[in-house]
Structure 1
Amino acid sequence: MNHFKIKFSTFLLLLGFCLISTFAFSQVADKIIVKVDNYIILKSELELSYQNYLRSQDGTPDENAKCEILRQLLFNKVMYAKAEIDSVIVLDEQVESEASNRLSMMIERAGGDEKKLEEYLGKSLADIKEELLEPIKEQLTIQKMRSEITADAKVTPSQVRKFYKLIPTDSLPFLPAEYEVAQLLVYAKVSKQEKDRVRKQLLDIRTRIKAGEDFAVLAKEFSADLGSAAQGGNLGYRERGELVPEYEAASFALKPMEISEPIESEFGFHLIQLLERRGNLINTRHILIRPKPSAADMVYTNKFVDSLRNLIVKDSLTFAKAVFEHSADRSSKNNGGRILSQQTGSAKLVAEDFDYNTYLILDTMKLKSVSQPLPFRSPDGKEAVRLLYFIDKSKPHQANLNDDYEKIYQAALNDERARMLDDWFFTAIKELYIDIDEDYNKCELVEGI
């Protein structure tokens, strides 16, 4: 190996970094290809990332892409090593919680079958989670470093215009049609009898646990929170403010290993067990059961939403006010009910942002019109009725400042963040020992010796 001065491309700063799965490392003949202080990059890491990239493309080998991936891996290791020097840390509880979430997602992708996941990876769930901890710690630390380095990034309107003018006309993207749509969402109100039934069911489960049955086993059998159910109901460590108020208040009132009475929240009824408390951090597990609305409950809700629609159509009530006063979607109460893209956070949506049925409904609506009451099921399985308000639709067009200032502003801001990271990188490497395998000189990661 030779020791080099790194040449860093701004391009790699614009690439997202992904969590490298440790489970596949053994499938590649391994060796260390980069050292950054006490940290290393293995050949298997590079090859795995490269194979993932090829699968996302047309599969044609691309050595330039492999070099760009290596630059990104190198940049991440520099950030991680510098974080150690600068004492930038993430809490073990945060890492533990994220590992639990990742494991739950993996189990869901395996069809909720834990045994199937264990057989596929050839490891127990405990071992899988243990192997997730270090790469997750690295990822969270790098995210924190990036946030701190670019915290003061900003661009003025004149900088946005300058950025736009520097883009060649033939390089401006052609944007698809964009939609602005708002919704008013009302969950079905379930009867007292149904709520009493659920409370009794949870109390019976509580009695079984106190009699010696395993909380985790019963969570897997009964809990409607499928993500945590796969973990025996465990939600991992959470800080104050992360959980809904009713759940949080009940959890902080418990003693370690104590089990609550049924607690009602917007998600349903919870049976909560406090596993551990560390100051403002709590580690809990729960069993969630949702009351189910009857057919009569749904009819009542539909009539109520229809009455709101009639007031809106007659101009006796604005859609925004109806949303503020009646919508159950907290995230959109203060923005007139506008639906935001899960990918970009923008209120300007493309066809892919909608499910198929919603897209078909919009296709039949006129601008500024309000839909009839529509049945809706939330991602967590709650039954509801909603109204859609078709605010606006743009035609497909080439990006321009007048119509797409928000997008161009974001691109200019990202460019400024990249510049700040670039400057930071060249300063940071002066404090670190960096050693790169000679086989990767072809990537031109370096200038001079």
Structure 2
Amino acid sequence: MKRSVALLSSAVLAVSLLTGCGGAAGKDSAAKPADQTQPAQNGEQATQPDDVLDQFKKLNLPYTVDPKTVLVEYQDGSLTAQEFETFLRVINFLNPMQGAMIESIDQESLKIFAREYTATKILAARAADEATQKESQELAEKTFENIKGQYMGLLGKDPSKFEQLLKNQELDQQTIIEQMVLINKSMAVLKKDINDAELKKTYEGLDKASITVASVRHILVSFEKHNNKPEEALKVANDLVARLKKGEDFAKLATENTDDPGSKESGGLYADADVSQWVPEFQDAAMKLALNEISEPVKTEYGYHIMRVESRKEKTFEEMKAQLENQALEQKYDHFNKVELDKLITKYNIPETKPAS
């Protein structure tokens, strides 16, 4: 819900697919971890139960309404219940986790979805030039093939199962592509005012932590595992520091002793991670420690960390350009949302939702 539907670009949709099908990573006690769930890649067959089709069910709408009902009226157009249903079904196909959430949302949340889909329609209608139309179509077709490849990896490379999946969800290839084209066109409209000069200015204004990536190996001695007694955790941490300074292997000690499940299997290593994602104390140490130096215990809200920075570098503008562009897109959409959208929408007629079961 936090990501505006207008910003669900084909690239985002391609990587968000099937996020609910893998194993969840353990909680990272030093940082906000990246999603480690990986979708099946094109040509790979994931290990799944025989009834894999049952995992991807048809979306059960959380409301009942005549398909011809107009849900949103806006200048120069309207959003019907049939259009909105199609959109929601496509979202369920592209991102099953979000689909599961849609089934239990309340009326106010439903209104947010309808409002943002209306924004997508309004923006897409402004993309009248042939070049944008062609690019949006080609990107949608390419993305559909990528997503189909991910599903095929889960379905044992059986085309008939993929066709059955579409049928079960009351969708077809053309409908899905049309929805992605709409989203791509809305993205293209927002992108028109974004240029390299603007992005470079943003890049130059960032603090060093925002543009730094580092590989940091650490051992967490958590307060929780030591009865919430910091003095006990510090004693254990100091003992580990002494062992490391005598030459014991950091990765081995981390695997055996860390209380951070997010890095335990990698010997305590977070490789090439954005420093800015870490909690302040951990971030500060990651920026200041000399390379390959064993730190004294670093205290955070989670406990004491023994750290070793193994590499650190600043990302160039070119390396950050895509991220900066996405941030600029969100800002452009935010501005449209706050300044224009409510002036364009003239009426809502959102149906009541069913009580959560």
Q: Under TM normalisation by the shorter chain, which class is it?
A: 0.3 to 0.5
* Structure of greater Rg: 1
**Bigger strand share:** 1
